[in-house]
């Protein structure tokens, strides 16, 4: 049904479709699905990678040849059009949504467009050195260009006539990153055939603060923690190594899952939890390892069993093995020395098409069949098997291992995807118990993209390259089919920062899915812990700290108080036993005459659990001894 909304002279055309919520009622083993409404904008031409939404959610920009077209988010109507001097190969919004940075690779030129003043334009020619890519600085008044073959990085200023050159940049994808506060830039370098890391001060004309040699052989990426306290750097896929550094580039710990000399593939994906307490590492061995910043040891190893029957009423053991029921005892197929765990139910959902399912509706006079959408999720009660695909060893970068990993907005769920079984998504709970919470199995294809709602505690959207949009929450799932006359396949997606819409993209078109908020019972949740603005550091340290960092980042500073942390309860209990020893061994007492820094305190605003089932139980590592404290000053 076509819905039209008239606002002045503007007419908005949106197509209305239905979606199904799988956890409504169960009547005689037949699931009844409740319809929920979503609106889709009319598809517009736009290539993948050349469509972007402004950070303030006012416009959606798309590039076609040498033109940049701006459309309003609310009506997807053309607002204005910009013309560049050549074909646009890449573009990006400034963080303040006032400028658009266009990369014209054929000419080796960047062009800046102004939203407030369309007549103003800025053009920078890199010359014979060429242009590979460009990115904005957090202040929206500087941008960085990377030349061909990664020969150098050039920093250009829009407000001042100044240019800075950064040499020795390493040729890898994630070779630079800004601190969360935007004060510092971390840059991966290659000097004298060895990896180096440089820290530059963006507010002091991009001056070099410190440069160190890294504990890696061939680093391929770096990532700042959300609180700005740590920088993690990982090695290339032939060596399993993760190196953790503080913001002042002190080496804390290097982690490797295997012994030196073992010929095993390494790391494929890395992700921080929202608070920076946990670090998720996806590996080629089909395992996801979670490190804790208490002493940077492996807290848990999440395995993804394939080609084996999984009973949804029992879940998985702490080692990720399959649990079988033998009388009244639960037996794990793997060798486990008496782990402390209890079976727990796993919500397993499977995508089914119309010919494999029955659509039902509830009315006052009983149950009747209705014409509903052809795609829905079904809750599984019997054991299920996730089929895997054998990768071709002759093809580089084989499709195997954990290629996608992401923490939920509230940090209490973790979603992973095993690339050799990419049609399934694993959702883990790290709230009160560390356990497998849900599994989503799709028959329409491999999961190509997924993203968490930035405004909701735990709402996940994903797509499989089909005509459907899938959504998951701890309370249930949705399967939304795009209007049939669109002939639109969803290959990638991204949330609006406001959380009330999703940008959907196919190979040649894009559209916006509008989510209707429930005005009667709005979803509210307590905010997460955020880094306080107060900073305290020793007088002997000659590095100006980022103003957005919390207390206790360097040297003699006190540790963060427990009230500032937002980790799971079992995690805080697991760490409390060794916290006292860590204070005495890892940090030296303050010098005489110096004032003891006072930790920042704030009310306990930790969000409550979003788990839908209070009876959900899993293993608890009560029998494991607490990890030994690590000397942070070594």
pLDDT at 49 > cutoff 80: yes
**Average pLDDT, integer, range 72-81:** 94
CA-angle at 363, arms to 362 and 366, nearest 5°: 80
**Average pLDDT, integer, range 190-198:** 96
Confidence of residue 583 (pLDDT cuts 50, 70, 90): very low
pLDDT at 145 > cutoff 80: yes
The residue that leads in pLDDT, 439 or 559, is: 439
**Average pLDDT, integer, range 204-208:** 94
**Average pLDDT, integer, range 145-151:** 95
**Average pLDDT, integer, range 453-465:** 95
Q: State the Cα–Cα distance between residues 532 and 494, nearest whole angstrom.
A: 29
pLDDT at 631 > cutoff 60: no
Q: Return the domain boundaries, the chain.
A: 79-167
Nearest-10 Cα torsion for 41, 44, 49, 55: -50
- CB 164, CB 152: distance < 8 Å: no
pLDDT at 324: 55
**Average pLDDT, integer, range 50-70:** 96
Cα distance from N-terminal residue to C-terminal residue, the chain: 67
Q: Which two tokens stand for residue 116?
A: 């407030």
Cβ-based neighbours of 61, under 8 Å, separated by 6 or more: 51, 52, 53, 54, 68, 69, 70, 71, 91, 93, 100
pLDDT at 531 > cutoff 50: no
Please write the tens of the pLDDT for every residue from 259-268: 877 768 899 9
Pairing state between β 492-495 and 476-481 = unpaired
pLDDT at 341: 55
pLDDT at 231: 98
Confidence of residue 453 (pLDDT cuts 50, 70, 90): very high
Cβ-based neighbours of 37, under 8 Å, separated by 6 or more: 16, 17, 18, 19, 516
pLDDT at 615 > cutoff 70: no
3-state SS, one letter per residue, for 518-562? CCCCCCCCCCCCCCCCCCCCCCCCCCCCCCCCCCCCCCCCCCCCH
Pairing state between β 59-64 and 67-72 = antiparallel
Please write the tens of the pLDDT for every residue from 13-25: 444 444 433 333 3
Least confident of 55-59, 251-255, 620-624: 620-624
Nearest-10 Cα torsion for 70, 71, 77, 80: -20
Confidence of residue 355 (pLDDT cuts 50, 70, 90): low
pLDDT at 484: 83
Please write the tens of the pLDDT for every residue from 588-605: 433 333 333 333 334 433
pTM attached to this predicted model: 0.76
Across 127-238, the runs of DSSP E, i.e. the strands, are: 133-136, 142-146, 152-157, 163-167, 176-178, 184-191, 194-201, 207-213, 219-224, 230-235
The residue that leads in pLDDT, 25 or 62, is: 62
């Amino acid at each position: 049904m076509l819905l039209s909304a008239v606002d002045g002279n503007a007419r908005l055309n949106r197509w209305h479709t239905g979606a199904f919520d799988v956890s409504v009622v169960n009547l005689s083993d037949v699931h009844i699905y409740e319809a929920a409404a979503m609106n889709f904008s009319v598809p517009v031409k736009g290539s993948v990678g050349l469509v972007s939404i402004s950070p303030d959610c006012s416009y959606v920009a798309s590039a076609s040849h040498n033109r940049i077209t701006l459309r309003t988010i609310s009506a997807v109507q053309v607002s204005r059009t910009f013309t560049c001097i050549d074909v646009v190969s890449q573009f990006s919004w400034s963080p303040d949504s006032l400028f658009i940075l266009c990369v014209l690779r054929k000419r080796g030129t960047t062009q800046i467009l102004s939203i407030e003043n369309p007549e103003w334009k800025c053009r920078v020619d890199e010359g014979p050195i060429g242009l590979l890519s460009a990115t904005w600085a957090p202040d929206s008044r500087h941008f960085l260009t990377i030349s061909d073959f990664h020969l150098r990085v050039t920093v250009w200023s829009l407000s001042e006539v100044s240019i800075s050159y950064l040499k020795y940049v390493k040729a890898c994808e994630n070779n630079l990153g800004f601190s969360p506060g935007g004060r510092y830039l971390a840059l991966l370098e290659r000097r004298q055939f060895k990896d180096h890391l440089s820290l530059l001060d963006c507010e002091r004309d991009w001056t070099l603060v410190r440069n160190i040699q890294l504990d890696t052989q061939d680093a391929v990426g770096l990532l700042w923690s959300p609180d700005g306290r740590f920088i993690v750097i990982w090695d290339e896929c032939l060596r399993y190594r993760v190196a953790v550094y503080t913001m002042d580039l002190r080496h804390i710990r290097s982690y490797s899952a295997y012994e030196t000399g073992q010929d095993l593939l390494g790391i494929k994906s890395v992700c921080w939890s929202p608070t920076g307490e946990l670090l998720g590492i996806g590996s080629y061995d089909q395992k996801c390892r979670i490190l804790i910043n208490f002493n940077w040891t492996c807290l848990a190893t999440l395995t993804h069993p394939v080609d084996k029957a999984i009973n949804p009423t029992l879940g998985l053991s702490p080692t990720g093995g399959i649990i079988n029921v033998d009388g009244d005892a639960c037996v794990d197929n793997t060798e486990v020395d008496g782990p402390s765990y209890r079976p727990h139910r796993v919500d397993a959902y499977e995508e089914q098409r119309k010919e494999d399912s029955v659509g039902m509706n509830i009315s006052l006079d009983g149950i009747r069949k209705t014409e509903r959408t052809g795609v829905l999720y079904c809750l599984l009660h019997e054991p299920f098997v996730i089929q895997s695909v054998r990768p071709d060893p002759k093809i580089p970068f084989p499709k195997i291992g954990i290629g996608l990993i992401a923490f939920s907005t509230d940090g209490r769920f973790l979603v992973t995807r095993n690339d050799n079984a990419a049609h399934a998504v694993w959702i883990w709970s790290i709230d009160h118990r560390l356990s497998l919470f849900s599994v989503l199995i799709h028959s329409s294809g491999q999961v190509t993209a997924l993203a968490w709602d930035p405004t909701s505690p735990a709402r996940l959207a994903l797509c499989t390259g089909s005509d459907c949009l899938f959504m998951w929450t701890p309370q249930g799932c949705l399967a939304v089919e795009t209007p049939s006359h669109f002939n639109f396949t969803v290959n990638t997606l991204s949330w609006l920062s406001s959380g009330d819409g999703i940008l959907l993209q196919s190979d040649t078109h894009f559209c916006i899915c509008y989510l209707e908020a429930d005005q009667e019972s709005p979803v509210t949740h307590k905010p997460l812990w955020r880094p306080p603005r107060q900073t305290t550091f020793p007088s002997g340290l000659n590095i100006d700290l980022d103003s957005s960092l919390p207390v206790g980042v360097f040297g003699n500073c006190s540790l963060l108080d427990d009230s500032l942390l937002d980790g799971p309860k079992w995690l805080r209990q697991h760490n409390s036993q060794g916290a006292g020893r860590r204070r005495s061994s890892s940090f030296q007492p303050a010098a005489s005459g110096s004032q003891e820094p006072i930790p920042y305190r704030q009310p306990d605003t930790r969000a409550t659990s979003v788990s839908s089932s209070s009876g959900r139980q899993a293993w608890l590592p009560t029998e494991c001894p607490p990890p030994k404290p690590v000397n942070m000053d070594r």
